């Protein structure tokens, strides 16, 4: 990070009002507690306001309605969307992005029947199997496998050592991180006459546009039909999406969460970290399942579900405060007994 920008240039670039010292040179970005002198930081949440005063950073991106004044010699940039402004800020200081030349590496193995779009990068030891279609401007990096007849849209970025099995569909502008497996067989078995018999998993996975999937995620192919990840869904690392699941538009599945077979998750839901959703249930739009909780029944839109088995937040709080209530009741019972004893004597 040896780049430097004047605070007034930054204000222009970010389209933010500048308050305070307009003569600072900014040499880096950092969080409130880690930024150094000459750095710019940001106030994302007003509960950290006191950290602005303690920080040695020289400038701060603050909410547009923030009324305090910057300290002597420091500057505030007033922003309508602090997170977004700070992201732009970070990009100004970021090292150059990795470039993926439009070429098929000589060590890649691309089937003759594959259709490769314009301006596509296929990295070293990547394997593109028979009948695959890859859209324009997409990047398939080193060691990644794309299975028979799978279709990858335009402007996708598939990182290293990803596996996408046969007959899956990935939309446009999708990002899939390393180690992730799309389209492996769903987990389905039936007791048979001589042990356990595998239920064939002959469906596929369909991923719509603008989806991002983290590292070492598993999205299983449907038993029949499709496992569907709709537009704008963002999946964190180590998440399990079982066969025939549907994830609604713009829903978020946070790290290590899991969704069991045939569950339908609505639009704009948040399944927080390490939470689970049982199979064959319907989760209403906008529902939030708290971290580590396990949703065992379907729920209406905009539910907030907590605990295992998950219950509405209010019921969960009742449960959480039981020890206090029980302690109080123990005392009350003692008192009652005493009063009774007094009365009997």
Q: Which of 42, 139, 23 minimizes the C-alpha distance to 88?
A: 42
Compute φ and ψ for 181, nearest 5 degrees.
-125, 115
* Set 177, 208, 243, 280: catalytic member: 243
Do 219 and 227 form a contact (C-beta atoms < 8 A)? Answer: yes
Question: Residue 194, exposed/middle/buried by CB under 10 A (0-12, 13-18, 19+)?
Answer: exposed
Tokens describing residue 151: 């279709």
State the binding string over 90-129 for its own copies (x if CB under 8 A, else -). xx-xxx--x------x-x-x-------------xxx-x-x
User: Quick one: which of 20, 70, 258, 266 contacts its own copies (CB under 8 A)?
Assistant: 258
* Calpha distance 18→9 (Å, rounded): 10
- The stretch near its own copies (CB under 8 A) out of 5-13, 18-26, 58-66, 162-170 is 162-170
* Calpha distance 11→20 (Å, rounded): 12
| 291 touches its own copies by CB under 8 A | yes
Q: Taking CB under 8 A as the criterion, which residues in 169-188 touch its own copies?
A: 175, 177-181, 184-185, 187
State the nearest-atom distance from the C-beta of 115 to its own copies, in Å.
18
State the nearest-atom distance from the C-beta of 336 to its own copies, in Å.
5
| 27 touches its own copies by CB under 8 A | no
Q: Taking CB under 8 A as the criterion, which residues in 261-280 touch its own copies?
A: 262, 273-274, 276, 278
Q: Which of 212, 284, 216, 218 minimizes the C-alpha distance to 252?
A: 212
* Calpha distance 288→296 (Å, rounded): 14
Minimum CB distance to its own copies smaller for 67 or for 324: 324
| 160 touches its own copies by CB under 8 A | yes
* Calpha distance 288→272 (Å, rounded): 7
Q: What is the DSSP letter of 123?
A: -
Do 132 and 147 form a contact (C-beta atoms < 8 A)? Answer: yes
User: Quick one: which of 7, 145, 229, 283 contacts its own copies (CB under 8 A)?
Assistant: 145
Query: Active-site residue 243, yes or no?
Result: yes
Q: Taking CB under 8 A as the criterion, which residues in 46-85 touch its own copies?
A: 81, 83-84
| 248 touches its own copies by CB under 8 A | no
- Active site positions, annotated: 243
């Amino acid at each position: 990070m040896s780049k430097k920008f004047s605070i007034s240039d930054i204000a222009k670039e970010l389209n933010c009002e500048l308050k305070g010292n307009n003569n600072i040179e900014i040499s880096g970005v950092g969080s409130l507690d880690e930024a150094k002198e000459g750095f710019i930081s940001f106030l994302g949440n007003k509960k950290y306001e006191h950290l602005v005063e303690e920080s040695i950073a020289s400038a701060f991106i603050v909410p547009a309605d923030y009324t305090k004044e910057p300290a002597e010699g420091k500057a505030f940039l007033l922003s309508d969307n602090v997170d977004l402004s700070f992201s732009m800020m970070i990009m100004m200081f970021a090292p150059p992005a990795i470039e993926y030349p439009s070429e098929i590496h000589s060590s890649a193995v691309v089937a003759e029947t594959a259709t490769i779009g314009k301006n596509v990068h296929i990295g070293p030891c990547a394997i593109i199997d028979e009948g695959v279609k890859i859209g324009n401007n997409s990047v398939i990096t080193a060691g990644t496998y794309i299975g028979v007849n799978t279709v990858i849209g335009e402007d996708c970025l598939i990182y290293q050592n990803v596996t996408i099995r046969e007959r899956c569909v990935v939309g446009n502008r999708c990002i899939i991180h390393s180690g992730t497996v799309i389209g492996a067989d769903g987990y389905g078995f039936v007791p048979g006459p001589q042990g356990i018999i595998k239920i064939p998993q002959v469906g596929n996975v369909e991923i719509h546009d603008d989806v991002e999937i983290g590292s070492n995620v598993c999205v299983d192919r449907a038993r029949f039909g499709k496992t569907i990840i709709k537009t704008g869904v963002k999946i964190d690392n180590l998440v399990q999406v079982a066969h025939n699941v549907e994830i609604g538009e713009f829903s978020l599945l946070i790290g290590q969460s899991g969704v069991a077979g045939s569950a339908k998750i609505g639009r704009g839901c948040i399944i927080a970290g390490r939470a689970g959703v049982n199979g064959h249930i319907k989760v209403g739009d906008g529902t939030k399942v708290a971290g580590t909780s396990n949703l065992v029944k379907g729920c209406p839109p905009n539910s907030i579900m907590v605990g295992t088995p998950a219950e509405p937040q209010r019921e969960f709080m009742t449960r959480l405060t039981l020890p206090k209530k029980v302690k109080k009741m123990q005392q009350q019972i003692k008192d009652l007994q005493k009063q009774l004893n007094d009365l009997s004597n």
